[in-house]
Amino acid sequence: MSAYELVVGLEVHVELKTKSKMFCSCPADFGAKPNTQCCPVCAGMPGALPVLNRRAVELAVKAGLATGCKINRKTKLDRKSYFYPDLPKAYQISQFDRPLCEDGFIELEGRRIGIERIHIEEDAGKLVHEGERSLIDLNRSGLPLIEIVSRPDIRSAEEAAQYLKKLRLILLYADISDARMNEGSLRCDVNLSVRRAGERLGERTEIKNLNSFSNVAKAIECEYGRQVLLLESGGEVLRETRRFDEKSGTTIAMRGKGMDYRFMPEPDLPFIELSERDISRIKDEIPPLPDERRERYGKLGLSEYHSQELTADRRTAELFERAAELTGEVQHLAALILTAIPAKAEKYAKLADMLGAGRISSAESKRLLALDGDPEENAIELLSDEVQLREIAARAVAENPKPVSDYKNGKAAAFKTIMGAAMRESRGRANPVMLQQLLLELLSP
Amino acid sequence: MSAIAGRSLAQIAAELESGIYSSVELTERCLSEIERDELGIFITVTPEQALFSARQSDRRRAAGERLSVLDGIPMAVKDNLCTKNIRTSCASRMLESFVPDYDATAVSRLLCCGAVMLGKLNMDEFGMGGSGDSSFFGAARNPRNPEHTAGGSSGGAAAAVAAGLAAYALGSDTGGSVRQPAALCGVTGLRPSYGRVSRSGLAGLAGSLDQVGVIAGNVRDCALVLGAISGEDAADSTTLPGTAPDFTGLLDGGISGMKIALLEEQCSGMAQEVKAALLETVKVCEGLGAKVERVSVPLLDTALPVYEIISAAESSVNLARYDGIRYGYRAAEYGSLDELYTKSRTEGFGREVRRRLMLGTLLLMPELRDTYYNRATRVRTLIKSELDRLLESFDLLLSPTVPTLPWRLGESRSIGERRDCDSCGVAAALAGLPAISIPVAGAGMQLTAGRFAEAELLAAANAITEADR
């Protein structure tokens, strides 16, 4: 099986977060009653002309900049023709040979997955099948999309899922899209082929109808298996479109003739021209992205784990950064924020300071976090008075002769018992670091 | 006897102002003429709406609140311009029952000026044709001779003005469809520069070639109507930004000192009468102080095939939306989605439309697109630069609008004859230039100017027609 290399490229369609559709001013809201958000333009009525949504172009450029693409400053739109009931004009306005963005990448652990292009286009409507009838809802028709086409650099199902997760995170960070697969604002088609080492690229199939990241991974594994089996038994992989059937966990060939889209430049829309100023203004809108922030956090001394967790969500990362301006105790800060107990940045910072100064225990910090009010006022501080701690330590040693002698005889684990006793006597308030040090002093030969 | 024939818009406006008749009276006269019309000029007549508008106009006039010089004057609109709540059929079975709930911008601008719309005018189906034969409702006939064609595709529009049924009409011009019928019916037809008038609401056939045009009884009237409909439209991204200039300002400027290029390649195959009219036109121009020079632009011999390829290809995509799904004609019986499409479109479209759609579809297929469509678009760019260049050393281009006189309806014409007829009209469309057809010495003569130079074009056309009077 492993003799065959998996070659996967992903085509991701993303709905842009705009107020209105791509070519008309109909609202771009989700969930309205059928056919209440359409007009002559997005319904393909006679004489209705498209008008470009500038904000959609800006968001598309943002997506390109956020993935390291080169932005083409002069591009055009093209008509992509095919007949289907959910496509009102019988053509989709898209981009053919001059996409808005080209040659980007998504960075995964030590590997780069290339992005061939990102282009803008409009969405089609939705078909709802009701027994013998099919109903058309045009609310979705004309919604602004970007199509992000990766290079066939993906080599495993896991990598595909990682790519999608990373891409989604970037889209969320940069406020480009809600990117929810279950709402259809992010859709993914898989292009998959296999080959033996050293061979040319094999024939590829396209898999559609994937509605979750895990289904993408499953579909890839399943299709890989199918193609390998086919080739091993002397068959040929046909270039076709298949849909993933979740129930059976298989891919099934879709009926459909191969068609040519007869691309033609869109005469109703002028060239899209972007100045350097336009592009730098859009670039300024992009906040620092996860990778950049993780690197910075690492330099501050945070662990990889903490960095990952904090940057999983932009608001969390920003909260951390605000708080980190108020305290140097970044490790404690990270741990506090990741408790997910909500609080303001100032409170987190204060608590981090108190932890760092050894004034409170970890448990106490969590209690204070959840408690309304100033931690300074409410804190039950750790006992850090050396005189008192010495007394407690001495008493613990005196009252636990067996563990003491066990420890002195080399049983390191016995220390825990002594420490435990001392902590209990202080009702958990003893500064553990200091107490431990004092005990060790007392117990040392 | 027509209430309008031979009267200019200024005359009618003055007579309305001085109360010689009211808009309602004028409109009623037109409507009864239309009722008697046997030339097949109108597809839909809208007497209620027309009279309503006329009453509104009279009320405004009485209150001294005239909206414009066009207020209260009856006009009509080619049936491929959408009109709210009024059937817009494009002379096709496909849209036989289609009623839009929006107006084309050009129409709404005229209605905002107080124009009274009498109805929708006959045309070639979806603008494809130059004779009216392809109309689902039968061809419009030429008021000068009912056995003859009125031309096309804006045949109804030209005939309505020529017959005095409407004071002016809106048409559409893709490759001569306003100018050619104007010439054949003996009236004036203007194709504005590409981008001058909004195409929003025009069920056109080729987005890079279509323009809304004006047909009227004289040049000044064309200028007046053009002024009312021109200007930037947010709904059409190809319109020139800003409001339109005054097109009537230069009208009486004359053409003394102008240089006019007589395009040799557009002067072939002329009928005797047309040739004589052309020579007369040249004499008139020279008499007015202009210099006319014969110029050869060999590239213009490619204009017609380039046009045919581009318009067929674009229209195959433009007309794909007529699929029987959301509106328009749907076949009564079908057994599958494919059948729904093929039967609706085969039954809904006439022969000429089907022929052009098939041709256009083929031309965009991967096997052929490089040889034909891609090459045609490149040559189009060359034609445009050639003409632009020519218009740097000349003020105007001159040629006959149509090399022949109107032919008998139903007469079989060779492909060569039909193509000769179309050849003069396409260059201006390919290059996006404004062009006008004016009747001189019994035939239509075509003048073309530089892009957005309508004022100069109309001035020259006016000078020539005045002198020819």
Sorting pLDDT into bands at 50, 70 and 90, what band is B420?
A: confident
- Contact between B325 and A85 using a beta-carbon 8 Å cutoff: yes
Give CA–CA dist A259/A87, Å, rounded.
Answer: 15
On whether any CB of chain A is under 8 Å from the CB of B324, the answer is no
Looking at residue B1, its pLDDT comes to 56
- Contact between B321 and A267 using a beta-carbon 8 Å cutoff: no
Mean pLDDT across B250-272: 93
Phi, psi of A77, rounded to the nearest 5 degrees: -110, 155
Q: B126: which residues sit within 8 A by CB, 6+ positions away?
A: B80, B90, B91, B92, B94, B203, B205, B315, B319, B349, B353
Residue of chain B minimizing CA distance to A42 = B321
The question of whether B343 is a catalytic residue gets the answer no
**DSSP state, residue B432:** T
Nearest CB neighbour to B235, from listed A51, A79, A83: A51
- Contact between A90 and B365 using a beta-carbon 8 Å cutoff: no
Mean pLDDT across B142-162: 97
Dihedral through CA A419, CA A425, CA A428, CA A432, nearest 10? -40
CB-side neighbour CA atoms (13 Å) of B114: 21
Looking at residue B416, its pLDDT comes to 80
Residue with tokens 């620092």: A288
Best A264, A271, A273 member to test B by mutation, with max B CBs in 10 Å, is A264
Sorting pLDDT into bands at 50, 70 and 90, what band is A316?
A: very high
- Contact between A90 and B323 using a beta-carbon 8 Å cutoff: yes
AA letter at B260? I
- Contact between A81 and B317 using a beta-carbon 8 Å cutoff: yes
Nearest CB neighbour to B326, from listed A88, A260, A263: A88
Nearest CB neighbour to A47, from listed B202, B234, B326: B202
Would you tell me the crossing angle of helices B415-431 and B303-318 to the nearest 10 degrees?
80
- Lowest mean pLDDT across A201-205, B52-56, B292-296, B383-387: A201-205
On whether any CB of chain A is under 8 Å from the CB of B396, the answer is no
Nearest CB neighbour to A47, from listed B203, B317, B323: B203
* Chain A residues touching residue B100 (CB < 8 angstroms): 40, 45-47
On whether any CB of chain A is under 8 Å from the CB of B205, the answer is no
| Average pLDDT of chain A, as a whole number | 93
Query: Of B206, B125, B140, which Cα lies nearest the Cα of B173?
Result: B206
Question: For the segment B72-109, what is each residue's pLDDT rounded down to a tens digit?
Answer: 999 999 999 999 999 999 999 999 999 999 999 999 99
Looking at residue A362, its pLDDT comes to 87
Q: B427: which residues sit within 8 A by CB, 6+ positions away?
A: B266, B300, B303, B383, B387, B433, B448
Give CA–CA dist B4/B12, Å, rounded.
Answer: 8
Q: B256: which residues sit within 8 A by CB, 6+ positions away?
A: B288, B289, B290
In the set B23, B53, B89, B153, the catalytic residue is B153
Question: Minimal Cα–Cα distance from A39 to chain B, Å?
Answer: 10
- For residue B445, give both structure tokens: 């003569």
Which ipTM value was assigned to this complex? 0.95
Residue of chain A minimizing CA distance to B89 = A46
How many degrees, rounded to 5, is the angle at CA B14 between CA B8 and CA B15?
Answer: 90
The question of whether B384 is a catalytic residue gets the answer no
- Lowest mean pLDDT across B334-338, B385-389, B412-416, B438-442: B412-416
Query: Of B81, B317, B206, which Cα lies nearest the Cα of A267?
Result: B206
Would you tell me the crossing angle of helices B454-468 and B272-287 to the nearest 10 degrees?
100
Looking at residue A412, its pLDDT comes to 86
- Contact between A269 and B326 using a beta-carbon 8 Å cutoff: no
Looking at residue A183, its pLDDT comes to 87
Residue of chain A minimizing CA distance to B314 = A264
Residue of chain B minimizing CA distance to A93 = B317
Mean pLDDT across B369-398: 97
Instruction: Name the B residues in 225-284 with CB < 8 Å from any A CB.
Output: 234-238
Residue of chain A minimizing CA distance to B94 = A46
Mean pLDDT across B409-435: 89
Looking at residue A203, its pLDDT comes to 93
Sorting pLDDT into bands at 50, 70 and 90, what band is B380?
A: very high
Sorting pLDDT into bands at 50, 70 and 90, what band is A404?
A: confident
Residue of chain A minimizing CA distance to B310 = A264
Helix (H) or strand (E) holding B119: strand B116-121
On whether any CB of chain A is under 8 Å from the CB of B104, the answer is yes
Looking at residue B426, its pLDDT comes to 96
- Contact between B364 and A43 using a beta-carbon 8 Å cutoff: no
In the set B177, B193, B200, B230, the catalytic residue is B177
SS3 B76: strand
Sorting pLDDT into bands at 50, 70 and 90, what band is A347?
A: very high
Mean pLDDT across A327-352: 94
SS3 B15: helix
How many degrees, rounded to 5, is the angle at CA B398 between CA B394 and CA B401?
Answer: 155
Give CA–CA dist B205/B198, Å, rounded.
Answer: 15
Question: Minimal Cα–Cα distance from B309 to chain A, Å?
Answer: 13
Nearest CB neighbour to B199, from listed A49, A79, A81: A49
- Contact between B237 and A52 using a beta-carbon 8 Å cutoff: yes
Q: Regarding predicted confidence, which is higher, B364 or A409?
A: B364
Residue of chain A minimizing CA distance to B327 = A45
The question of whether B177 is a catalytic residue gets the answer yes
In this structure, the number of other CB atoms found within 10 A of the CB of residue B268 comes to 11
Highest mean pLDDT among A362-366, A424-428, B390-394: B390-394
Q: B138: which residues sit within 8 A by CB, 6+ positions away?
A: B40, B122, B132
Q: Can you give the pTM of this predicted structure?
A: 0.92
- Contact between A89 and B314 using a beta-carbon 8 Å cutoff: no
Residue of chain A minimizing CA distance to B207 = A267
In the set B53, B78, B399, B423, the catalytic residue is B78
Across the strands, what pairs with B121? B42, B78
Nearest CB neighbour to B323, from listed A83, A267, A270: A83
Mean pLDDT across A164-187: 94
Nearest CB neighbour to A47, from listed B82, B320, B361: B82
Nearest CB neighbour to A90, from listed B236, B321, B365: B321
Question: Minimal Cα–Cα distance from A47 to chain B, Å?
Answer: 4
Strands B211-216 and B168-173: antiparallel
**Cα distances (Å, whole numbers) of residue B245 to A19, B230, B253:** 35, 9, 16
Distance of CA A144 to the CA centre of its chain: 21
Question: For the segment A109-123, what is each residue's pLDDT rounded down to a tens digit?
Answer: 889 999 999 999 999
Give CA–CA dist A185/A166, Å, rounded.
Answer: 16
Looking at residue B415, its pLDDT comes to 79
End-to-end CA distance of chain B: 23
Query: Of A113, A195, A206, which Cα lies nearest the Cα of A162?
Result: A113
On whether any CB of chain A is under 8 Å from the CB of B376, the answer is no
Best B318, B340, B344 member to test A by mutation, with max A CBs in 10 Å, is B318
**DSSP state, residue B414:** -
Question: For the segment A75-105, what is each residue's pLDDT rounded down to a tens digit?
Answer: 999 999 999 999 999 999 999 999 999 999 9
On whether any CB of chain A is under 8 Å from the CB of B15, the answer is no
**Cα distances (Å, whole numbers) of residue A243 to A163, A185, A205, A228, A373:** 21, 19, 10, 18, 56
Question: Minimal Cα–Cα distance from A82 to chain B, Å?
Answer: 9
Question: Minimal Cα–Cα distance from A101 to chain B, Å?
Answer: 23
Give CA–CA dist A237/A244, Å, rounded.
Answer: 17
The percentage of chain B sitting over the pLDDT mark of 70, rounded to a whole number, equals 100
**DSSP state, residue B132:** S
Question: Minimal Cα–Cα distance from B334 to chain A, Å?
Answer: 13
